[in-house]
Structure 1
Amino acid sequence: MVKVIVAGGVSYNLMVYLKELPEPRSATVFSQAYHETVGGTGAGKALALHRLGSQVTLHALLGTDVQGQAVRDYFAQENLECLFEHDPRGTERHLNLMAGEKERLSIYLESGSFEPIINLERLRPVLAGCDVVVLNILNYCRQILPLAREYRKPIWCDLHNYDGVNPYHQEFLENADYLFLSSDALPDYRAFMKAQIVCGKKLVVCTHGNAGATALTPQGEWYEIPALAGYSVMDTNGAGDSFFAGVLYGHAHGCTLLTCLQLGALLGALSVTSRELIPSSLSLAYVEEEYFKRYGAFPDFCSPRNHP
């Protein structure tokens, strides 16, 4: 079983669904629906990998508030192993205004501590025993980088909407072995991807929303994978994290890069069918079934039962 540690990115969010985002003026707006739930880029990646059968440890900051307890209860129901650090500022919280299939306005109600005190020693046995380290770009995750390098673990990192110049991302960019990002703020993404391969990255993947994703390998192989249509869109939160998890899962189980990207596209498509980060129906068996419907047989696909 593949062992993964996912560090950073857990929040408790109020999700409000609107017909359209409000204009920037005083107004009264009626929601179509609303609910509170767990969110965050680390939560999305960890949940997807866990549902596929990976042994996941999620490391994150939480407060001792009501929202923090709700997060703990959520992951306890999932039977997902967690290491939570105390955040004196409280649990990170967002208000997400959702409209249509694409629009989102995310308001940080509480952003959490920028430089919290982390107990790195209790992370040592987890890092020593894991196969993959997933570092999200929360500032505190910089503290984990030296340990990941000390134990020589492959680092997977998602830079999200990186613009190619923001110094905040630089340390994550330099240390990542497997790099993901979005093209939203990076028009010349091809040149950036090529430059990162020259710098020694083992894989660079760039996502383009509804336009799919592209990938580049050290061998110069260029892949383009379209986004999957045909699934009812309820909430796009977590789609990018599910895509990331699908690619990582396939790679860790010996799939070809094409199959990894197809798995990513499939998990991303499945994630939008639920107003939770991960639909309740998501499982390895369900993914295999949907993969067969979309792509046909996958002889190179390796499931956990083939990897004791």
Structure 2
Amino acid sequence: MKKVFNIGGVSYNSVIHLDQFPKPVPTTIHHCNFKETVGNTGAGKAVTLSKLDFDVTFHSMIGNDVYGEKIRTYLNKPNLKFIHDIDPQGTERHLNLMNSGGERISIFMNPITDEPNIDYNRFNKEIRKSDFVVVNISNYCRNILPLCKANKIEVWTDLHDYDGKSSYHQDFIDSSDYVFLSSDNLKDYKPFMEKMIDQGKKLVVCTHGKAGACALTKEGWVEVEAITEYRIKDTNGAGDAFFSGFLYGFSKEYSIKKCMQFGTIAGGLCIQSELITNQDLSAELLEKEHLRYY
């Protein structure tokens, strides 16, 4: 089994599904589909990768509270070791408003501490023994980047809805070899991707939701379409599933095109679930779906 060290991003979320977002006027909504569940980008990757036969070590911050306990219970899964530090501010919590098109408004009700008191040196062992190191963009994770550089470890990161100019993301961009992002806030994404390759990145992948995804390496562009047969129940976790499906293909030394196809399948399977990953997901299902669609 390939080993992954994945750091940053777990929360306990309230998720409300509506046909459409409320207009910006006072109103009362009498009926909605509501749930509370574990979410966030690190958790989405950790659970999905563990289902795809990776040996995953996942670090994040949680509170010494009932929500932290719910997270520990949820992450007690095969192939997944969850290690954590206690955040005195409590467990991170989000309120996600979802519409029928899969769009999301996220409200951070309780963010984690930006600069917690953590002994980062204890991660050296995990970094060195891992085949892949994934650094998510929680603020505290930027402090592990110098360790990755000192150990000459390649870094994978996910910038999500980066707008092309946010200074917050710059440390993660500078320190990463493999970069993922979405085009939600970066419509003119191609110049950014080309700039990244010119600066020495090995791979840049940009997802476009229903419009598919594209990748750029030194060898050129690769594009894939979305699979329209997958019907939306909940889009939370879809980007992390795409990332994980791609990494599955990459770990098998498949072509970039095939990796993108596996990412597309994993993302599609995710949106059919109301959780951050499809409960039926496995490497076998991913391969079966690939034969079905490609």
Residues 89-100 of structure 1 aligned to structure 2 (within 5 Å)? 89-100=89-100
Any stretches of 5+ residues in structure 2 without a counterpart? none
Q: CA deviation at 1:110?
A: 0.4
CA distance in 1, matches of 2:14, 2:78: 20
| 1:267 paired residue number | 266
Residues 239-282 of structure 1: per-residue CA shift (max 9 Å, x gap): 11110111112112211111100000000000000110011111
Does the Cα contact within 8 Å between 2:58 and 2:83 map onto a contact in 1?
yes
1:86 aligns with 2:86: yes
Distance between the aligned counterparts of 1:79 and 1:36, measured in 2? Answer: 24
- Residue 75 of structure 1 aligns to which amino acid in structure 2? L
The amino acid across from 2:285 in the alignment is Y
The Cα RMSD (Å) is 1.2
> What is residue 301 of structure 1 aligned with on the other side?
none
TM-aligned CA deviation for residue 106 of structure 1: 1.2
Report what 1:41 is aligned to. Answer: 41
Name the structure 2 match of 1:212.
212
Does residue 1:229 correspond to 2:228, yes or no?
yes
Q: CA deviation at 1:112?
A: 1.1
Conservation of the 8 A alpha-carbon contact between 1:16 and 1:31: no
Matched, 1:2 2:6: no
Conserved? CA contact 2:53–2:79, under 8 Å: no
Query: Structure 1 residue 77: deviation in Å?
Result: 4.2
After superposition, what is the alpha-carbon deviation per residue over 1:203-240, rounded to whole angstroms, capped at 9, x for unaligned? 01111111011111122x21111111111210001111
Residue 19 of structure 1 aligns with an amino acid whose one-letter code is: D
Which 5+ residue runs of structure 1 have no aligned equivalent?
A: 296-308
Aligned counterpart, 1:240? 239
* Alpha carbons 2:56, 2:79 under 8 Å: kept: no
Contact 1:131/1:153 (<8 A) preserved: no
CA distance in 2, matches of 1:170, 1:13: 27
Q: Percent identity, aligned pairs only?
A: 46
* 1:294 corresponds to: 293
Contact 1:101/1:235 (8 A) holds in 2: no
Alpha-carbon distance in structure 1 between the residues aligned to 2:26 and 2:178: 45
Taking structure 1 as the reference length, what is the TM-score of the superposition? Answer: 0.93
8 Å CA contact 1:97, 1:105 repeated in 2? yes
> Where does 1:165-204 land on structure 2 (aligned, <5 Å)?
165-204=165-204
Query: How much has 1:78 moved relative to structure 2?
Result: 4.8
2 CA distance for matches of 1:3 and 1:116? 26
- Report the Cα distance in structure 2 between the residues aligned to 1:171 and 1:203, rounded to whole angstroms: 17
Following TM superposition, the consecutive aligned residue runs of length 4 or more in structure 1 with deviations greater than 4 angstroms are none
Q: Deviations over 1:45-104 (max 9, x none)?
A: 111111000011111000001000000000114552011011110000011111203222
Q: Are the equivalent residues in 2 in contact too, given 1:21–1:103 (CA < 8 A)?
A: no
Q: Secondary structure at the match of 1:76?
A: coil
